[in-house]
Amino acid sequence: MRVESRKTVRLILSLTAIWLLMMVWHIIPDEAPTAPRDADADADVIVYVSASCSCYRPWISDLRRDGLAVNVVQTRDIVKAQQALGVPREFSACHTADAKNYWIEGHVPAESIMSLLNGAPENVAGLAHLRADLRPRDEIAWEVVTYDAKGEPISSVPQLDSSTENAKGATHEQ
């Protein structure tokens, strides 16, 4: 094949890929959280995900395995969803969740979410799963942090790593 032909084929493939991405962009609804929809009324957790996000899948599998009802909504504007839920700006991620009007950022373990929902504290706005620091032997320390409506931390519970399998003892504190 000649060089000009290869360049033409690459150009056509590139333009086709761009066209496909544009079509997918228009297919994904631009939904931000408002009042719960009928389909979401029974959900404990509604997860809003951007089109490029796939890291939420193992997390929601863990949540479902541990007994939480989870619905997933794809959105083109995750920042808009986070703003509607009142998530502090410093939590810019590819997915966010609404757990009965509490915002959830990061892969918060089901145990912590259930504790929050069962306690239903009025002074809490949401939970975040944050990387705290590096521990000896390359163990990563994480913590579940509880926040008030002003975005100020109320409490935190340390964990050894980010998986829910190893999150035993990560419960909500008021």
Give the whole-angstrom CA distance, residue 41 versus residue 17.
38
The pLDDT of residue 62 = 93
* 128: enclosing H helix or E strand: strand 126-134
Q: Among 46-50, 56-60, 96-100, 139-143, whose mean pLDDT is lowest?
A: 139-143
| Mean pLDDT value of segment 69-88 | 89
Output 74 or 27, whichever has higher pLDDT. Answer: 74
The full set of domains in the chain, from first to last, is 31-166 (3.40.30.10)
Helix (H, G, I), strand (E, B) or coil at 142: strand
Which tokens sit at 101? Answer: 């009007």
Encode 24-44: b = buried (16+ Cβ within 10 Å), e = exposed. Answer: eeeeeeebbbeeeeeeeeebb
Asked whether residue 68 carries a pLDDT value surpassing 90, the answer given is: yes
Asked whether residue 136 carries a pLDDT value surpassing 60, the answer given is: no
The pLDDT of residue 36 = 45
Asked whether residue 65 carries a pLDDT value surpassing 90, the answer given is: yes
The pLDDT of residue 29 = 54
| Mean pLDDT value of segment 56-71 | 92
**Contact by Cβ (8 Å): 127, 115:** no
**Contact by Cβ (8 Å): 87, 99:** no
Whole-prediction pTM value?
A: 0.66
